[in-house]
Amino acid sequence: MIKGVKEGLLFLLDDSCPFEDLLAELHHKLEKTHQQLLSGPLVHVHVKLGTRLITEEQREQLTDIIRSQGNLIVASVTSDQPEAREGSGFGGNINTITAIVRSGQTLEHEGNLLLIGDVNPGGTILCSGDIYVLGALRGMAHAGTDGWKDAIIAASLMRPTQLRIADVVSRPPKEWLSNESAMEFAYLDQGQMQVDKLSQLVRMRQEPILFKGV
């Protein structure tokens, strides 16, 4: 079922049929019966899986079908099955979206988000987990929207108009923006917004790794 909501489109997927049948039906709806959705401005799509759990490969198959339509952007893929937060992270899963968030557009996401593209001035990202922008962040980004104070915001080029983590708003950009060419991230330290090189993130979130031969 495809429904129009304030945030864009809501795809409610059957969680009882075989996954291959689900993909075929989704492709049919987008190509044959819902062509009116595929024209006009960019539309954010929120996919609800019901109680179905899918693999990363299945997630890619699903999002590829939706992204093949020119104006549809997959903003979130969620299941009713809970994913526990582990350690300092937010469940460990990162959803990847390739897009440019333009002025006046808002991209909302549940969980961790890797955006491959730019956030232009006037563009906004709202995310309950971490935000990683593989591009220029020149708009507004709000991580930890549900109150998660350990969330971070990282970008290849950190030039935002405003940053927010949980309920903490960044200081005026001129007070903390650096001339570093390295990827940077913003985080909370005792309730204050700080910015550092992304290479320093290991200090906050280092996890034990077993290397072969060691």
Whether residue 83 is predicted with pLDDT greater than 50 in this model: the reply is no
- Angle made by CA atoms 16, 75, 23, in degrees to the nearest 5: 35
Q: Percentage of residues in the chain with pLDDT exceeding 70?
A: 79
Q: Flag the least confident range among 6-10, 96-100, 110-114, 131-135.
A: 6-10
111/165: higher pLDDT = 165
pLDDT in tens, 167-187: 999 876 665 556 666 789 999
- Higher confidence at residue 86 or residue 23? 23
Say what the pLDDT of residue 103 is: 92
pLDDT at site 38: 61
Strand-pairing partners, residue 158, are 137
Distances (CA, A) of 150 to 33, 104, 131, 144, 147: 43, 28, 12, 8, 9
Distance CA 210, CA 190 (A): 32
Q: Which of 185, 214, 188, 190 is nearest to 202 (CA)?
A: 185
Q: Is residue 117 within 8 Å of residue 100, measured between CB atoms?
A: yes
The pTM score is: 0.57
- Tell me, what amino acid is at 189? D
| pLDDT, tens digit, 9 for 90 and up, residues 146-157 | 888 999 999 999
